[in-house]
Amino acid sequence: MTHFAAVVLFALFASTVFGITSRETPMRMLRYGIYCFVLFVGSAIAISWVMYFIAR
């Protein structure tokens, strides 16, 4: 499994639980789940680039 696949899987599972447990209506659950997913994956990519430049 690649690093990125692991990040995407982790983000998908965690965002699903966060979305369902943190909001009350299905539409708000979906929106919050997508928001969490984007934050998880986006922050992982951003931190990876930071580490890439630090290592060079």
Nearer to another protein, 3 or 56 (CB): 3
- Quote the tokens at residue 43: 């922050």
Closest contact distance (angstroms) between CB of 42 and another protein is: 19
Give exposure, 27-39, as e/b (b: 16+ Cβ within 10 Å): eebeebbeebbee
Q: Does 21 bind another protein (CB under 8 A)?
A: yes
Nearer to another protein, 1 or 54 (CB): 1
Residue 18 CB coordination number (10 Å) = 18
Nearer to another protein, 28 or 42 (CB): 28
